Amino acid sequence: MLIIIISSCTPVVKNTADEIRRNVWSAELKSGECVTLDFKEDDALFKILSKNKKTVLKIKGLCIIDKKKMMIFDSTDKENYVFDYKLKDDKLKLFYDSGELTLVRKIN
């Protein structure tokens, strides 16, 4: 008797935080700057590049996400950066101070 078992190792998305972490998010601003938000386990990298591909802003470090807020503790300047967020379909809206930024899920 021959038995074949096929299994998959696809990560299971359990909540909004998992949904955000398992994807790469990006936006191109009207000014030509490019914004990306990428994750590696519990660390996040939020980066803004100029039209010339020079780094304008880089926040990198431990990221904690709850139901309403995302906090990145930057390991370089030892500061916390907190964003309110809303996730709907393929769009992640980040709210900060009085501003708003909409990132789109990057399809690999």
Q: For 41-91, what is each residue's pLDDT tens digit?
A: 999 999 999 999 999 999 999 999 999 999 999 999 999 999 999 999 999
14 vs 98, more confident: 98
Q: What DSSP element (H or E) covers 5?
A: none
Within 10 A of 14 (CB to CB), how many other CB atoms are there?
8
CA angle (106 as vertex; 105, 108 as ends), nearest 5: 135
* Cα(102)–Cα(108) distance, integer angstroms: 19
How much of the chain, in percent, has pLDDT values that exceed 90?
81
Q: For 49-61, what is each residue's pLDDT tens digit?
A: 999 999 999 999 9
Question: Counting every residue, how long is the chain?
Answer: 108
